[in-house]
Amino acid sequence: MKTILSAAIAAAVGVSAFATTASAQDTLAAIKDRGQILCGVGTGTSPGFAFPDDEGVWTGVDADVCYAISAAIFGEKGNVKFIPTTSKERFTALQSGEVDLLSRTTTWTFSRDNNLGFDFHGVNFYDGQGFMVRKDLGVGSALDLSGASVCVTTGTTTELNLTDFSRANNLGISPVVFENAEETKNAYLAGRCDAYTTDKSGLASIRAVLPVPADHVVLPETISKEPLGPVSRHGDNNWGDIIRWSLNTMIIAEELGVTSANVDDLKSNSENPEIRRMLGVEGEYGAQLGLPADFAYQIIKQVGNFEESYERNVGVNTPLGLPRGINALWTEGGILYAPPFR
């Protein structure tokens, strides 16, 4: 999930940055002319995050970010073209303009934010790297993986984190590397390694589609910080603001108790000043983004607040079964927090 580009690719991205900056200035206008958002997602192997259902409709918390932006711009959440990208090609696709944003379990790091010429616009899932093993291996901790072979996708920070963890704990882990997540999963299933490592959300997603999920367990250790969120190119602040405040709207709506079920009633009857501002009843907040006054109302009505998206896609009653944990609101013991709608 977390790719380190080679120096050659990074240099190529740098050369292309100037060429794409000018076109990045009018992303919203280009999207309106096109009639849809080009949303870079994963390759459809991550249920709960970005995954096409049996009818080809994309679902997941990452997909919902793009649906929210579409609802904000068009008043219709479905004006999105989902473009699958691999870990290797995703940054080139964004920099070249093939996609308008990435919403595909991409970790916010210093070098990606600065050296590669991208802007991150918040976090829609706080994650960390972990390990999955077969239950019959009898391992209860990653610290028990001494001498183990571990499947990992090559060219990623996951691979580097694995090496660091092994060295720091003198475990002598042997990485078994593969080109992409599908190959890595298949190798783990075939027994070519003792464990599988990637972000814990990815492990939960992979585990959910294994033939017998109960035969596999995600170990308790978390060995890295992986704040995942939507990302766009440098050079278009307004487009960045639209992405950021589409996500923020979902978070603030949860905090204020505004849901897809009660948003109509609250728009008509709420006396809460922040709710009235958010839903376009008071103020000119949509105009500040170049959006309709009811952009936030459309997001909540059509996509839901953050809690609705989380529980629908990855929560405890889904195959992934992920409790909110640190992804809970700051008022509920988590670290999820958005600036006020003021």
pLDDT tens figures, 169-219: 999 999 999 888 888 999 999 999 999 999 998 899 889 889 999 999 999
Question: What SS3 state is found at 311?
Answer: helix
Give yes or no: residues 11 and 117 share one domain: yes
Beta bridge partners, 216, equal 134
pLDDT tens figures, 280-325: 999 999 999 999 999 999 999 999 999 999 999 999 999 999 999 9
| 54 domain-assigned | yes
Give yes or no: residues 122 and 11 share one domain: yes
| 24 domain-assigned | yes
Give yes or no: residues 46 and 143 share one domain: no
Q: Edge-to-edge strands of the sheet including 118-120?
A: 80-84, 37-41, 101-102, 231-233, 118-120
Give yes or no: residues 215 and 178 share one domain: yes
Give the separation between CA 315 and CA 157, rounded to whole angstroms: 26
Question: What's the Cα-to-Cα distance from 337 to each of 198, 306, 340, rounded to whole Å?
Answer: 25, 11, 9
Give yes or no: residues 13 and 90 share one domain: yes
Contact 51, 282 (CB under 8 A): no
Give yes or no: residues 179 and 238 share one domain: no
Mean pLDDT is lowest, of 16-20, 68-72, 191-195, 320-324, for 16-20
Give yes or no: residues 93 and 234 share one domain: yes
| 1 domain-assigned | no
Give yes or no: residues 99 and 139 share one domain: no
% of the chain at pLDDT higher than 70: 92
Give the separation between CA 79 and CA 157, rounded to whole angstroms: 33
Band of residue 10 on the pLDDT scale cut at 50, 70, 90: very low
CA 9, 10, 13, 15 torsion: positive or negative? Answer: negative
Give yes or no: residues 12 and 42 share one domain: yes
* CATH number of the domain where residue 48 is located: 3.40.190.10
Please identify, among 245, 279, 306, the residue that sits at the C-terminal boundary of a domain: 245
Give yes or no: residues 135 and 70 share one domain: no
User: How many residues would you count in the chain?
Assistant: 342
Six-digit token string for 156: 């990623």
Mean pLDDT of the chain: 91
| 337 domain-assigned | no
Please identify, among 245, 277, 300, the residue that sits at the C-terminal boundary of a domain: 245
Of the candidates 201, 203, 211, the residue with the CA atom closest to the CA atom of residue 184: 203
Please identify, among 224, 256, 278, the residue that sits at the C-terminal boundary of a domain: 224
| 120 domain-assigned | yes
The per-residue DSSP string of 134-190 comes to: EGGG---SGGG-TT-EEEEETTBHHHHHHHHHHHHTT---EEEEESSHHHHHHHHHT
Domain around 137 = 129-224
Chain centre distance of CA 38? 15
Give yes or no: residues 20 and 137 share one domain: no
| 163 domain-assigned | yes
DSSP assigned state of 197? E
pLDDT tens figures, 232-273: 999 999 999 999 999 999 999 999 999 999 999 999 999 999
% of the chain at pLDDT higher than 90: 79
pTM score: 0.87
Six-digit token string for 36: 């849809």
Residue 25: per-residue pLDDT: 59
| 110 domain-assigned | yes
Pairing of strands 58-59, 51-52: antiparallel
- Residue 221's Cβ-side half-sphere holds a number of Cα atoms within 13 Å equal to 18
- Neighbour-count burial for 18-31, b at 16+ CB within 10 Å, e otherwise: eebeeebeebbebb
| 257 domain-assigned | no
Place of tokens 């639209």: 242
Residue 155: per-residue pLDDT: 65
State the DSSP H helix or E strand holding residue 125, giving kind and residue range, or none if neither: strand 125-127
Catalogue the long-range contacts made by 187-190 (C-beta closer than 8 Å, 24 or more residues apart): 187/151, 188/132, 188/151
Structural domain tally of the chain?
2
CA-only gyration radius of the chain, Å: 20
Give yes or no: residues 105 and 81 share one domain: yes
* CA–CA–CA angle 105, 219, 149 (5° rounding): 90
Question: What SS3 state is found at 217?
Answer: strand
Residue 257: per-residue pLDDT: 98
**pLDDT exceeds cutoff 80 at 36:** yes
Contact 151, 213 (CB under 8 A): no
In this structure, the number of other CB atoms found within 10 A of the CB of residue 290 comes to: 15
